[in-house]
Structure 1
Amino acid sequence: MKRKSVIVAVVLVVVVVAVLVGGFLVYAQHFASSVNQPHQAAGPVSVTGTPTTIPGLRTFQIVPDQTTASYSVYENLIIENKPHNKVIGTTHAVQGSFGVRTDPSPLIGNMKITVDLRTLQTDSPRRDNYVQRNALQTDQYPYATFVSVLAQGLPANYSDGQNVHFKLIGNLTMHGKTNRTEFDVQGKLSGDTITGTATTTIYMTDFGIQPPNLANIAISENQVTISITFTARAVGS
């Protein structure tokens, strides 16, 4: 009788474990499919006409050691019971330049900014290695590049030191794909230095990137926030 009771207890434990594991796998698969629904990519912005030289445009160069590019994304760490864990990756490996005119009316043009994705770091080297190898595939696609096409919402006139808020529309190329991207920008020009922040939201799948999913225990969302906090100085200053 005692032996029979032990066998029954073992069977019950096995059943409970099977139910828990099965429930875990179903939940993980459901979460992965729910947060990573397909998103319709915008495609690149078409540039029409012949580029013209803009009079009065000053060229500003990004200062890498005073500039930070970052991404933030939410992941579900199922085993750790952290369903909304925010991950932030940063780098100072930002290069590029753009043109600015303040008089008679503000204009921004000729922007090209490049970020070295191989240098992005979060609080976990293991995560970084996984993302670079399996998601961003930085051995094949090491850079992300943004080229501006249009600025919207600039003020009619500008005074030195004035903070402005506007939209910057252009093409973001990453992982071999190019899509229209709109940055929300705040910044100011003081003398020969421009400082500011540009932020946008993208979806990994728009760029052919599969959101990281480590064995259904660490599952990343598709939506990513990209920010660049920048300092740029006038060339020749």
Structure 2
Amino acid sequence: MAGSIRRHWKRWLIAAVAAVAVLCTAGPYIYINYVQDKPPAALSLDDPPGSDSSGSSSGSREDVAGAWRVGSGSQAGYRVDEVLFGQNVTAVGRTEKVTGELEIEGNRAVSGSFTVDLASVKSDSDQRDGQFRGRIMNTERYPEATFELTEPIDFGSAPAVGERVSAKATGELTVHGETNSVSFELDAQRTADGFRVNGSIPVTFADYGIEAPDFGGITVEDEGNIEFLLAFNRA
């Protein structure tokens, strides 16, 4: 009788361990692929313009020279690939707290910068946001990320309203107290009373003294991107 009980207990224990193993592997897969919302698409000029970018147009191709500032409808944030309990996911965090300015002479942007309030960046996970603001980015000490042009951007010609142009931007990116030179492609579009600029800046975390997180079943790639969509209005 005792032997039979022990055999039943062993079979139950093995079944329980197997069930836990299945849940540990299948649970994250089910959550990530069927429960969790898909990450938002990359910021794009196809996104609807903000309220400051609407209205009728009286502008011509030649009236873009002068001083501009980042206005409402602007966004910036990060996009990085994670491995969550063996499942590949894309983490995205964003904020609308973005400031900046731009000076245009002729068809060239001769100076400009924008600054992102990192402490206000939010994703779909409070736990991720806490790690981002704390051990990863230390936003209490380094609350902002800043990009500043170091070379003029030549757009070739002033686009008409609704028209898009592309160009290469070169400047200095400061994140986590470290500054590095970066170059990347960006797109710009004239709007009724200004223009919008969209781009993505590749970031290698080690270049900025940031340790790629690896904790609690979550690992993060060594590289990510800073995405931005800036709406400019007359300063």
Question: What is the TM-score normalised by the length of structure 1?
Answer: 0.70
Distance in 2, matches of 1:4 and 1:158, equals 83
Instruction: Encode CA deviations 1:120-157: one digit per residue, 9 max, x unaligned.
Output: 000111210111101001011000011101245632x3
Structure 1: where are the runs of 5+ without partners? 25-55
Distance in 1, matches of 2:160 and 2:9, equals 82
The 3-state SS of whatever aligns with 2:182 is strand
Q: 1:1-237 maps to which residues of 2 (within 5 A)? A: 1-2=3-4, 5=7, 57-63=65-71, 65-78=72-85, 81=86, 83-102=87-106, 106-151=107-152, 154-155=155-156, 157-161=157-161, 162-190=163-191, 192-216=193-217, 218-235=218-235
Contact 1:68 1:228 in 2 (8 A): yes
The 3-state SS of whatever aligns with 1:75 is strand
Distance in 2, matches of 1:132 and 1:170, equals 25
Q: How many residues align?
A: 193
The 3-state SS of whatever aligns with 2:228 is strand
Name the CA shift for 1:190/1:130 in 2 (closer, same or farther; >3 Å): closer
Distance in 2, matches of 1:15 and 1:190, equals 61
Distance in 1, matches of 2:147 and 2:133, equals 20
Name the CA shift for 1:96/1:215 in 2 (closer, same or farther; >3 Å): same
Give, as a single letter, the amino acid of the residue that structure 2 aligns with 1:69: A
Distance in 2, matches of 1:186 and 1:134, equals 33
The 3-state SS of whatever aligns with 2:138 is coil
The 3-state SS of whatever aligns with 2:225 is strand
Deviation of the 1:232 alpha carbon = 0.7
The 3-state SS of whatever aligns with 2:151 is strand
Distance in 1, matches of 2:188 and 2:159, equals 13
Distance in 2, matches of 1:191 and 1:16, equals 62
Question: What is the TM-score normalised by the length of structure 2?
Answer: 0.71
Contact 2:108 2:154 in 1 (8 A): no
The 3-state SS of whatever aligns with 1:173 is strand
Contact 1:151 1:166 in 2 (8 A): no
Distance in 2, matches of 1:122 and 1:15, equals 34
The 3-state SS of whatever aligns with 2:160 is coil
Alpha-carbon RMSD: 3.0
Deviation of the 1:213 alpha carbon = 2.1
Give, as a single letter, the amino acid of the residue that structure 1 aligns with 2:205: M
Give, as a single letter, the amino acid of the residue that structure 2 aligns with 1:59: A
Structure 2: where are the runs of 5+ without partners? 26-63
Instruction: Encode CA deviations 1:181-225: one digit per residue, 9 max, x unaligned.
Output: 123211123464111212121111211111122223x11112212
Distance in 1, matches of 2:231 and 2:207, equals 29
Deviation of the 1:159 alpha carbon = 4.0
Distance in 2, matches of 1:11 and 1:229, equals 55
